[in-house]
Amino acid sequence: MQEKETAQISNAYIHYKEHENNRMCISMKKYITTSLETHLFFGRIMKEHALFLQAGFPAGEREYRKKVDWYRAEFEKILWQTVCLADGMVGEDVLCSGEVFTEFTVMAEQQTGRLTKIPIDFRITQAEKKLRAGCAECMDRRMVWKVRQLNQRVLHLLSGLIMFKEQILQEVTSCRLYTANYPLLIQHIIREAKLYQHVITMLEESKCISPENIVKTEQFWNQIMMEHALFIRGLLDPAECELVETADTFAGDYCRLLEEARKQDCRTMNGLTRKTLETTKRYRDFKAAGTKGITGCDIRSIILPLLADHVLREANHYLRILEGKGA
């Protein structure tokens, strides 16, 4: 009888351990996958923010140019490291979304490097095109350790980059520093860096991301989309009347969506989310056409080719978020 009870306890314990191992495997997989997907998107965004800042400073601002170039190079290293870890570790929806790279990215990088004389390693984009989606069944603790080291490095870099961006904004708005970038654009890239910091901090603290409040998520990205339209409108050549008018219309569309969201609660958000999805699909198409026109030298503007591709990728990212909510 005692042997039978011992065997039952042993079997129950084995079953419990199998369940725990499976649960741990899922938890590790989510931590690794979400971290790497976040870096694939935001790591590239951060290195490009640094490039846009660098390109906007006068040649005489050597210290600012040197410091922001350091951040550009460091986030390029982060992106390389992420690509090396990501094969078989990320979702197909992310790789196919157009948020990691687009059909224009390599050309936009090559053109922007030539125009600004700032080095861009477009081999990263070529390597990203070869990434495979989630082949790994269960990630081991060595991978968890590598990802944790990567996350900690990113958090350290983001802390410094955010403070540096805030310093730039303070200097610009106090008329002590000139840049070709709008003050609103600097505020814009500060908010995106803080979102990146928030996501990675959540992953490090809890190993998973709690469901985002739908209202806050849409408000954040609708604000980003609206500001993109304002920037595009302001950077197009005045002779591009039709494109300027279209950009202005999209700015108005997202402004109205923001106003509507402030008046809604969670029970009435589904209709607004569907409306946001349809607007963002049209806006993505406008950005894609614009990126094609700018890389093809068919649109007159002072928009860097990589900036055009940059805002297109962000629209693709937002679309994936909206479609994931079943909008």
Q: Which of 107, 124, 98 is nearest to 287 (CA)?
A: 98
Q: At what angle do helices 105-116 and 2-56 cross, to 10 degrees?
A: 40
Cα distance between residue 152 and residue 245, in whole Å: 44
| Neighbour tally for 278: CB within 10 Å | 12
Burial-class residue 307 by CB neighbours within 10 Å (0-12, 13-18, 19+): buried
Among 152, 165, 229, which residue's Cα sits nearest to residue 192? 165
Name the strand (E) or helix (H) holding 20: helix 2-56
133: which strand partners? 90
This prediction's pTM: 0.89
User: What's the Cα-to-Cα distance from 175 to each of 182, 186, 188, 196, 235, rounded to whole Å?
Assistant: 13, 14, 19, 29, 21
Sorted by sequence, the CB contacts under 8 Å of residue 206 that are 6+ apart come out as none
What pLDDT tens digit does each residue of the chain (327 aa) get? 555 555 554 454 334 344 444 444 558 888 999 999 999 999 999 999 999 999 999 999 999 999 999 999 999 999 999 999 999 999 999 999 999 999 999 999 999 999 999 999 999 999 999 999 986 655 678 999 999 999 999 999 999 999 999 999 999 999 999 999 999 999 999 999 999 999 999 999 875 565 556 678 889 999 999 999 999 999 999 999 999 999 999 999 999 999 998 887 655 567 888 999 999 999 999 999 999 999 999 999 999 999 999 999 999 999 999 998 654
User: Six-digit token pair at 320?
Assistant: 């994936």
Residue 48 β-bridge partners: none
CB 290 within 8 A of CB 243: yes
Domains of the chain are: 29-90+131-210 (1.20.1260.120), 212-327 (1.20.1260.120)
